[in-house]
Amino acid sequence: MTTKQMWETIKRYFGDGHVPGSAPLRYNIHICEMIPSSPFTASGSSRYGIELSEAAMPLYSVLGDTCPPPCTCFEMPAVVKHIEEWLENNPDDIHPDDMAITSGKNDTDADEVSLFIMRDVLSWWVHWGGALRPEDYWKQIYVAFAAIPDDIQLSPAAFFDGTYRFLGHTWNDCREGLLKEGMTPDKVEFVEMCLWRQILTQYFEKVDPALYPLLKSKTTLMTQYRVHTGNTLGCAALVLATMDMAPGVEGVQDHALEAASIAQCLSMDMAKEALGILKGEKTETVAGNRVQLKRELRWVYARCMEQLNAHEEQAFLLRRFASAGLHYVPMMDRYLERVNGNSRFPITELQAKILAPFINSRSVPPSLNKTLVLSGAVSGMNMDELGIVGTTNGLNANGPESVEA
Ligand SMILES: [Zn+2]
């Protein structure tokens, strides 16, 4: 399947949201029409995630007051049109920077980057409320597929045809694994379509320099695009799946899932700003009049969290996921490496033992083993050991059931 065909597939799957012509970059929620609730009412749901109300935000110098953003939501069809023109003009599915490392941390080996990503995935997973249990192995690999486009320019074609492997796993292995973990085919289809949309939007953002200026300084439009590139929607659906909760009225239509996916990204931004690592990012969401744009983002965050105070249990359960950026950012190696001048923390021996089961030793290049050893973290660990090393969760390297290399 070509990149263009992938785009057409997700366009059919997602359809339009509240903005005509926005498929596949649709949203159910119209952010600008979300009505603030009383800032002084305790929601009763504060045990689920951090309650950081609009009224409390000015207590923190890194936050402050809020302001409703001007509505730019109806510019999404123009973004869709721009992407479709790019696809028409670039039918070859090849770009000179495909598979280039974009982590910004002086990485030189794509498999090593994948290992760091796996570390990050498990770190996110714990903060989102998940456990490191074997039953969620392929859900965690899914999150890894959702994280890798941040750090590598992953070509959609290579992802789709299986040329690209994450630590030896193809996307097909992962999809089969999700089914074996008990997710229903329609839920797997939903998270797969979310992942395709993410890979495509991430790719366009990297290969088409004319895209970012269309979004810049437009809070609601930018937020909506960047949430697609983060695929927190698919990840939110997986977090619910670990609690045996399917996304409500079918994932695509689910408002709570959407609010949680937006808030997750914005809680991360607020915490990054507190650490001083948001400013200057290539795709920085508040580039321009930062002070004003940050006020607008906080307004959107507050509205999305209020949405999760709604009555159904599922929305409550998503509050922890939605507010998790506030506590995972200051804890995680991924962000502390940025604070540390973008220099990598070596994988420790204990980390390597946790990560080893996620490597499919049948197809991962030997360079990874070399990298681990060279990093000084693992001494004398050879490829076989990486593949079958005693694990913290009782799995072998190929997951609950072996997959063909
Ligand atoms: Zn709007």
Spatial distance between the Cα atoms of 281 and 277, rounded to a whole number of angstroms: 8
CA of 72 to the centre of ligand 1 (A): 5
CA of 215 to the centre of ligand 1 (A): 14
CA of 74 to the centre of ligand 1 (A): 7
pLDDT of residue 246: 62
Spatial distance between the Cα atoms of 62 and 24, rounded to a whole number of angstroms: 35
pLDDT of residue 404: 36
Question: Residue 128's closest CA among 244, 14, 225, 267?
Answer: 267
Spatial distance between the Cα atoms of 359 and 357, rounded to a whole number of angstroms: 5
What are the residues whose beta carbons fall under 8 Å from the beta carbon of 95, sequence distance 6 or more? 153, 155, 207
Q: What is the DSSP string of 21-39?
A: T-TTS--SS-GGGPPPPPT
CA of 54 to the centre of ligand 1 (A): 20
CA of 311 to the centre of ligand 1 (A): 25
CA of 69 to the centre of ligand 1 (A): 8
CA of 113 to the centre of ligand 1 (A): 37
pLDDT of residue 394: 34
CA of 50 to the centre of ligand 1 (A): 26
- Both tokens of 95, joined, read 């770009």
Place of tokens 């890798």: 148
Place of tokens 């002084």: 40
CA of 404 to the centre of ligand 1 (A): 47
Per-residue pLDDT of the chain (405 residues; tens, 9 = 90+): 999 999 999 999 999 999 999 999 999 999 999 988 765 555 556 567 787 888 999 999 999 999 999 999 999 999 999 999 999 999 988 899 999 999 999 999 888 999 999 999 999 999 998 889 899 999 999 999 999 999 999 999 999 999 999 999 999 999 999 999 999 999 999 999 999 999 999 999 999 999 999 999 999 999 999 999 999 999 999 998 888 776 655 677 888 999 999 999 999 999 999 999 998 887 788 888 999 999 999 999 999 998 888 656 677 788 999 999 999 999 999 999 999 999 999 988 899 889 988 988 777 666 666 555 545 444 444 444 444 333 333 333 344 443 333
Phi-psi region of 197 (alpha: psi -120 to 50; beta: other; left: phi over 0): alpha
pLDDT of residue 164: 93
CA of 277 to the centre of ligand 1 (A): 28
Question: Residue 273's closest CA among 322, 317, 330, 220?
Answer: 330
pLDDT of residue 280: 82
- Both tokens of 173, joined, read 């292995």
- Both tokens of 142, joined, read 């899914």
What are the residues whose beta carbons fall under 8 Å from the beta carbon of 213, sequence distance 6 or more? none
CA of 220 to the centre of ligand 1 (A): 6
pLDDT of residue 227: 97
CA of 186 to the centre of ligand 1 (A): 30
CA of 75 to the centre of ligand 1 (A): 9
What are the residues whose beta carbons fall under 8 Å from the beta carbon of 92, sequence distance 6 or more? none
CA of 67 to the centre of ligand 1 (A): 14
CA of 256 to the centre of ligand 1 (A): 18
CA of 70 to the centre of ligand 1 (A): 7
CA of 305 to the centre of ligand 1 (A): 17
CA of 68 to the centre of ligand 1 (A): 10
pTM of the model: 0.90
CA of 237 to the centre of ligand 1 (A): 25
CA of 211 to the centre of ligand 1 (A): 20
CA of 48 to the centre of ligand 1 (A): 28
pLDDT of residue 349: 86
CA of 36 to the centre of ligand 1 (A): 15
CA of 283 to the centre of ligand 1 (A): 21
CA of 73 to the centre of ligand 1 (A): 4
In degrees, rounded to 5, the angle at the alpha carbon of residue 368 between the alpha carbons of residues 363 and 372 is 145
In degrees, rounded to 5, the angle at the alpha carbon of residue 235 between the alpha carbons of residues 50 and 263 is 35
CA of 142 to the centre of ligand 1 (A): 31
CA of 270 to the centre of ligand 1 (A): 21
